């Protein structure tokens, strides 16, 4: 696929996906969503890629859904409308389940569907000019497609307020309610923290990080009962028998770098 609305680069094992519709504050339409989905699929199947960084050009991270797209979709029949909406749903799900670490570098406005994109990432690093808003009800819409990811990030109690008020959260409040992990005063500080995190990530076993993400999805809402104990025990039993785990343990005991760490690092 040829990209018109995003950029995708890969350097030293780190993929960078940049939203590139600055003229509309990186609002997402069906073409943009299809391009993001395609890029995520490429990253997922590339064994040389260790992590995905999401950035955005211009003064805003993402203003949500493109209203011209929404207006077109309003004239679709019911099945066409569902099929169209599923594009965003499948894109967010692919980002959420990507078996590699994902880091969102956030700045400026993050509205509507943009909030879902940030919440579908593992880590969110924001500038202090970041502003979040679950703005859908102002337009007679609802934040349904993004809800699975936003609710995991901010929790039900916070959502009961911000879904209904559609108020704007500054960066500090966004971090307090779980939409951002950290907030930085300058782009240089944000970039330095990104590089620190990528350095840590590249020291870790690639497949193990993917399985670690699966554990979060599997066990975060399960009761701690016998079946949970059995399933969690089975997972580690299988994992320590893998070639990757044997390499990692062997490297530690032999006081050498495991094979997934570049010698120059």
**125 or 84, which is more confident:** 125
pLDDT tens-digit series, residues 175-205: 999 999 999 999 999 999 999 999 999 999 9
Predicted confidence at residue 160, as pLDDT, reads: 97
pLDDT at 264: 58
The model's confidence at residue 28, banded by pLDDT at 50, 70 and 90, is very high
pLDDT of residue 71: 81
What is the C-alpha separation between 110 and 61, in angstroms, rounded?
A: 6
SS3 state of residue 245? helix
* 110 closest CA partner among 123, 93, 129: 129
Residue 125 bridge partners (DSSP):
105, 182
Cα–Cα dist 27/23, whole Å:
9
Q: Does position 234 have pLDDT exceeding 60, yes or no?
A: yes
Tell me the pLDDT tens digit for each residue of 115-159. 999 999 999 999 999 999 999 999 999 999 999 999 999 999 999
Flag the least confident range among 56-65, 73-82, 186-195: 73-82
- Dist. CA 195–CA 216, nearest whole Å: 24
Residue corresponding to tokens 């969102």 = 104
Residue 75 scores a pLDDT above 90: no
Share of the chain above pLDDT 90, in %: 89
Residue 265 in this model has a pLDDT that exceeds 60: no
d(CA 109, CA 168): 9
- Composition of the chain by helix, strand, coil, percent to 5: 50, 15, 35
Q: Extract the tokens encoding 78.
A: 């019911």
**Which residues 6+ apart lie within 8 Å of 168 measured at CB?**
131, 132, 133
Q: Over 90: is that where the pLDDT of 17 sits?
A: yes
Instruction: State the pTM of this model.
Output: 0.94
């Amino acid at each position: 696929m040829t990209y018109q609305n995003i950029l995708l680069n890969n350097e030293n094992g780190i993929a960078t996906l940049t939203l590139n519709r600055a003229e509309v504050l990186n609002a997402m339409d069906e073409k943009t969503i299809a391009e993001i989905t395609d890029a995520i699929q490429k990253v997922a199947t590339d064994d040389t890629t260790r992590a995905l960084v999401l950035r955005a050009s211009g003064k805003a991270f993402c203003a949500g859904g493109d209203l011209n797209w929404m207006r077109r979709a309003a004239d679709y029949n019911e099945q066409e409308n569902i099929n169209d909406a599923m594009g965003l749903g499948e894109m967010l799900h692919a980002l959420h389940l990507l078996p590699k670490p994902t880091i969102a570098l956030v700045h400026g406005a993050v509205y509507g569907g943009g909030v879902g994109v940030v919440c579908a990432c593992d880590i969110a690093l924001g500038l202090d000019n970041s502003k979040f808003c679950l703005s859908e009800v102002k337009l007679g819409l609802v934040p349904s497609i993004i809800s699975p990811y936003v609710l995991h990030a901010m929790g039900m109690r916070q959502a009961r307020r911000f879904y209904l008020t559609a108020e704007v959260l500054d960066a500090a409040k966004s971090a307090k309610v779980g939409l951002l992990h950290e907030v930085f005063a300058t782009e240089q500080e944000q970039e330095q923290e990104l590089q620190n995190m990528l350095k840590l990530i590249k020291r870790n076993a690639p497949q193990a990080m993917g399985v670690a993400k699966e554990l979060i999805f599997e066990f975060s809402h399960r009761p701690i009962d016998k079946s949970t104990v059995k399933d969690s025990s089975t997972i580690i039993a299988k994992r320590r028998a893998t070639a990757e785990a044997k390499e990692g343990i062997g490297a530690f005991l032999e006081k050498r770098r495991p094979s997934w760490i570049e010698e120059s690092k």
